[in-house]
Structure formats: C-alpha cells, structure tokens
Chains A and B, each alone.
Chain A
Amino acid sequence: MIFQSFKMAWKSIAANKARAALTMLGIIIGVVSLVVLVSLVTSATNSVTDQIAGMGNDMLTVSVRDDKGNPLKAADLAEIAQDGNIALIAPTAQSSAAAKSGGETVNVSLEGTNGSYFQIRGDELASGRFLKAVDLENVSYVAVLSNETAIGIYGDSDATGRTLTMDGRKYLVVGVLAEDDSMMASISQAYSVYIPYTVMERLSSGTSGVSSFYASAVDSAHMDEAEAAVERALLSRFKNDGDAFYIMNQNTLAETMGDVTNTFALLLGGIAAISLLVGGIGIMNIMLVSVTERTREIGIRKAIGANRRSILFQFLIEALTICLVGCAVGIALSGLILIAINAFAADAMTIGFSGSVVAASVLFSTVIGVAFGLYPARKAAGMPPIDALRYE
C-alpha cells in the first residue's frame, strides 16, 4: 500500500512537471543553503580546533599575578612536577632584544625557558638541538631560533653553530626549529629566540622568580586532574588566594572555540532552515490547488472504495515526495557546490560534506512535507463523496 501510494504520488507529480519543479525549487534552495552554510562553518570549526590541538592539547598555561612577595622558584616548579598527572613543566619569561648578525640589526622577542618547553609545545627541530638542563645549570649563552628567525637573520634555516649577538652579548646558536605552519604561528610574525631561563634571569637582574610557566598533563585525558594539581600547589603556596594566579587550560580554550563555532553553525543553519520553511509553505499552497483541481478524482476514488485514510495518505505522500525529491536534488547540488568551492579555495581549507547536516536536512524536509501536507490532505480526505463527484 505504501509503495503503491508512492507510485501514485510520483505519477501525479510527473503529470504536472513544471509546477512540481517550481515547488521543489523552494525546498532545493532551502536544503542547499542549509547544507552548504553548515558544511562551511563545520569545516572552519574543524580547522580551528585542529590548530588548537596542534599547539598541544595537553598544555596548561599558568601566570602568577601576585606573588605576595614570595615568588615561585625553580624548586617550587620541580615540586609541582612531582604530581603523577603532570608530565613536564617549563618556566617562561619574555623580553625583547636587538639581535645583530653581520651588518643587520633586527628586533627579536626573547623567551627564557628550559628544554621541556619544546616538548610541551610539540616543536620539532630543523637542525641542532633543544635547550638542555646543563645550559640552565651553567647559565650558558646559547640560543634556539625559530625557523623564520633563522631565515630572517641568516637568510637560511641552517644556522646551527653560528653566533648571534643580542644586546651586545654573544650567543651560540645550538638549534633551529622546524617550520611551523600552524595558524597561530602565522598570526605572530615576530622573530622568536629561545634562551636558557637562567640566562634570562641574569639579564633582567631586577626580577627574580617565575611569573609564568607551562605544564603538560601525562595525556589529554588527565588535563583536569593536572589543572587541579597545579591549582592545589599554587593555592597552598599563595595563601589560598585564587586570584593570585591564573591557569589556562588548552582543552578549555578548544571547547570555547568549539562553542563559538557551534553557535555560528546554529545561527546560519537557523537562517537556512527559515528558507526551507518558506519552501514548505509553497508546498502547502500547491497541494491546496491540487486538491481543488482533483476534487472529482477524489470523488471517483471514494466511490470505488477509497476510505479517508487512503485519500489522506495519497496527498500526504505526494507532498512528502515533493519534499524528499527536492531534498535529494538539494543535497546533490550542495555536493557540487562544495566540490567547486574546494577546487577554487583548495589551499585555505578543505570543506567536507557534513554528514549530520545532510541527515538533518532529510529529517527537516520530512517534517516539513508532513506538516505542510497534512492540512491539504485532510481537506481532501474529508470531502463528502457525493459533493466531490458532482464537482465540475
């Protein structure tokens, strides 16, 4: 019976092709805007979350706002690192310097840290080595350069073994990092130079203690425990003042970004859904016309034994078929549009078909077909057979 109904529905739609095509157009436009917009946003979301994950998904950034006259020392950090949930810890301190090599002078941003820093961030080497514990112990004047810095100063990334003069002191370049093509790296265009934390302390003789550090959890599943451990240690260190320090959880950042882009997806999807709704109204309109036109047919069908339900189903399934065929065409069209966008914007990002939005558009089209088909179908089903038969 259901199969028969679809066959009948298809026949009556085919009998009025131009009208059916125009009616479907509303649904097609709605589905295309829904699928394309949400796919775009979803792809953008994915690329942003990938970038964040690329920075290290198990990273905590801690900064001390108020050390209560009792700054954190390297020993304090070592103690925090004892916790089972924390893998590595790296103090950081920033400053800037004028670097000179040959005749050129450039401004570089200086970061004092230790060897763990690179592991926490997931950096890789182009040449040489990272900072080592002995560099910190001996307060050696050594430097690790980012790839861009090496190219900027020396013209190529193979700078290991060369000498770099910063603020009048000579540093030995012991390593150059591999190229970082993440979005975050491309945002900060500054030349970065990494030196031992102890050297940094000595340079800025006024300050002492650690005002910010990075920590990594043993794995990304233990981020919350790691954060709790750091918080515990710092609370006891800073007299239970939660405002004395600030911990940023990379996971939380990723989640926040995810929330923002989800809101975007919902917003755009909502706008697209409205156009789908308008398409549904078009279907209701055309179904009402169709029911009136086919009043006599309804009378004939009733005379030969169609009951209310058969007539109701016939028109409901007709509306549903228009919706679902429109939806299928819309999805196919969206696929083509996304392929075209990918072809033109291949470098920026790849836009994938969002499976869930395809499912959502099918579901939504079904709901619209039923919701807007029901009233005309009920009107058809409720016609008294005699009046319908007499209709001219």
Chain B
Amino acid sequence: MIELNDVSKTYRIGDEEVKALNHVDLTVEAGAFVGVTGPSGSGKSTLMHIIGCLDTADSGAYRLDGQPIEHYSENELAAIRNRKIGFIFQSFNLIARMTLEENVELPLIYQGVPSHLRKMRVEAALEQVGLADRRKHTPNSISGGQQQRAAIARAVVTEPALILADEPTGNLDSKTGENIIALFHSFNAAGKTIVLITHDDRIARETGRVIRIMDGAIDRIARPDTGTQTQVAETAGQSDPTNAAPNGDHSGAATGNGIDAGEKQPGKRSKR
C-alpha cells in the first residue's frame, strides 16, 4: 500500500535548515494498523504529510498503491487525497460556519457525487460515528469529541483505503480519546489501512505495529505482542483521565463500535 524509499525532506526556517526526514524507508501493507510515535519535532507530521500527498519529498520515491506519487501534479495529488485518503487532525479542522452535514458532504462535492447520493452517504457516515442527530449543528455548538467524530465521518465518507490521523486524541480527554481510537479499530477491522500518529505510547501499543521516529529517521519498529489486545479487554472499566499511565494498566474498551454517548468533555469547553 505505502512504499517509501529513501525519502528525505528538508525545511528551511529562517537561515536554519531542518532535516525533517532523513532517508526514510517504510512499507505499510494494505489493511495494516500502524502507530507512529516520537517526540515533537522528530518528523512524524512531515512523514504523514508526505504519505498523505499534502507535501512532496525532496528526494526518494513514494508509491501509494503502486502509483509513483513523486511524479504527480498538484491536481492529481488533490484527486488522490480526495479518493484514497481520509485525514483526521488534532484540531479537528472542521469549517466553523458549516453544519456537520455540510462539512461531511464537502469531499463528496469535490468528487462530483450527485446530490441525492451525497445525502445518503453523509447520513450513513454520520450514523457510523453516532452523530446522526447532530447533523444540523455547527462545530462550535458541540463537544471536542463530537467534533472529532464529525471529522472522522468526513474522512471516511469517501470510503478511502487509507486513513491518516495526526494526534487525533491530542485535544481530547482520555475517555473520549479512547472512543475515538475504538472507532479506528472498527475501521481497521473493516479492512482500512490506518496510520495513526500519537505521542501516547498506550494508544500506540494498541496498533499492530509501532514505528518510532527520532530526528527524521526511523528509530525502531516494534510489534506489540498479541496479548496486548486481550489485556485491554480485561482491564476495561477503570477510567484514567490523566492519560499518563505508561504501563498496561489503562482503561477503555476497544470493542464494538466504541461509541459512548455520555462521553466526557474537556472542562474548559463544558463551562461555556
């Protein structure tokens, strides 16, 4: 699915050159669930931008589904982003003055899907993330967790083969975040390839493979032992809002579709 071959990317910030990616080789098979971790500034966001065709590498080759991305024009990249990739961001990135329904509909409009099909697919996607009853709301009138679920609905409404999530739980409390991660697991179970960037080792460990990035290069690739998933199920129910437990003693059930209507909102937001 994803083949990076000796990919490098350098940014220039002022006079300083930052090597965001330094000769990276990476292969992700179709249907995999990959976690990418690493300290901030390590290059994991750059990696996601290149995988997501939002940016192009300075050197090296990138094949997505066998297509040589590095040779594609800006408009061809837009079409690939539109059809093959679903993005989920830390700050949700919904368009504030549009309703959830309209936000989710947007990628379908760019795809040229006729209106009556769009309506159906938007409804199905919002249903999938448990927001069907909020479809006329604007992003500012719902909680962070709901916003992220709407963003997920927008990402999956086009039925992309690849879902790229950049710190999707970074702005959420741990309970809400776990619900979001559970959604990813359900999409992965349905056959989608998922690349999840996170600084949370616990979330990373729930994925099939953890790639650790350091200073623009892949530092370590780990395959969490198969017991991890079962361990999660056994300890379900113990809430840990501090989101800081480094060991296996954490909460959240990655079962079912993972939607919890009574999800917690960040305190700052619920005061409004």
- Residues of chain A having any CB pair with chain B under 8 Å: 1, 4, 11-12, 15, 296-297, 299-310, 384-386, 389
Question: For residue A4, which residues in chain B have a CB less than 8 angstroms away from its CB?
Answer: 109
A302: which B residues are within 8 A, CB to CB? 54, 78, 81
The reply to whether A308 and B75 form a contact with Cβ atoms under 8 Å apart is: yes
| CB proximity of A294 to chain B, nearest CB, Å | 9
How close is A5's CB to chain B, nearest CB, in angstroms?
9
A305–B111 contact, CB under 8 A? yes
Known: A304-B81, A307-B74. A385 touches B106 (CB 8 A): no
Instruction: Answer whether A296 and B81 are a contact pair too, CB < 8 Å, given A307-B74, A308-B74.
Output: no
Contact B97 A386 (CB under 8 A): no
Q: Is B54 within 8 A of A385, CB to CB? A: yes
Chain B interface SS verdict (over half): helix
Q: Is the CB of B106 within 8 A of A304?
A: yes
In whole angstroms, what is the CA distance A302 to B95 when docked? 12
**Which residues 83-124 in B have Cβ within 8 Å of A in the complex?**
83, 87, 89, 93-95, 97-98, 106-107, 109-112
Task: Determine the residue in chain A with the shortest Cβ distance to B78.
Answer: A307
Contact of B75 with A301 in the complex, beta carbons under 8 Å: no
- Which of B52, B75, B98, B110 has the most C-beta atoms of chain A within 10 angstroms of its own C-beta? B110
CA distance A386 to B49 in the complex (A): 8
Q: How far is the CB of B176 from chain A (nearest CB, A)?
A: 22
Point out the residues of chain B lying under 8 angstroms from A385, CB to CB: 54-55
Q: Which residues of B contact A11 (CB under 8 A)?
A: 97-98
> Considering the complex, which residues of chain B in the window 151-201 have a beta carbon less than 8 Å from any beta carbon of chain A?
154-155, 158
Once A11-B98, A386-B54 are accepted as A-B contacts, the answer to whether A303 and B93 lie under 8 Å apart by CB is yes
Task: Give the CA-CA distance A1 to B110 in the complex, in Å.
Answer: 8
Q: Chain A CB within 10 Å — which of B89, B94, B97, B109 has the most?
A: B109
Top 9 nearest A-B pairs (CB, nearest first) are: A305-B82, A307-B78, A304-B107, A305-B110, A307-B75, A15-B97, A300-B93, A385-B54, A305-B81
Known: A304-B87, A308-B74. A296 touches B79 (CB 8 A): no
Q: A290–B189 Cα gap in the complex (Å)?
A: 42
Task: Tell me the nearest residue of chain A to B111, going by C-beta.
Answer: A305
> What CA separation (Å) do A4 and B78 show in the bound complex?
19
* CB-based contact A305/B78 at 8 Å: yes
Give every chain A residue within 8 A of B74 (Cβ-Cβ): 307-308
Chain A CB within 10 A, most for which of B54, B75, B78, B94: B78
15 contacts between A and B (CB under 8 A): A1-B112, A11-B97, A15-B97, A300-B95, A301-B106, A303-B52, A304-B87, A305-B78, A305-B81, A305-B110, A306-B82, A307-B74, A310-B110, A389-B54, A389-B89
Known: A306-B110, A307-B75, A389-B89. 16 other contacts (CB 8 A): A12-B97, A15-B97, A299-B93, A300-B93, A303-B81, A303-B87, A304-B82, A304-B106, A304-B154, A305-B79, A307-B79, A309-B75, A310-B110, A384-B55, A385-B55, A386-B55
Residues of chain B within 8 A (CB-CB) of A301 are 95, 106, 110
Chain B residue nearest in CB terms to A307: B78
- Collect the chain A residues with CB atoms within 8 Å of residue B94's CB: 300
Task: Name the distance in Å between A311's Cβ and chain B's nearest Cβ.
Answer: 9
A308 to B89, CA, bound (A): 22
B59 to chain A, nearest CB (A): 18
Closest beta carbon of chain A to B53's beta carbon, Å: 9
**Distance (whole angstroms) from the CB of A265 to the closest CB of chain B:** 44
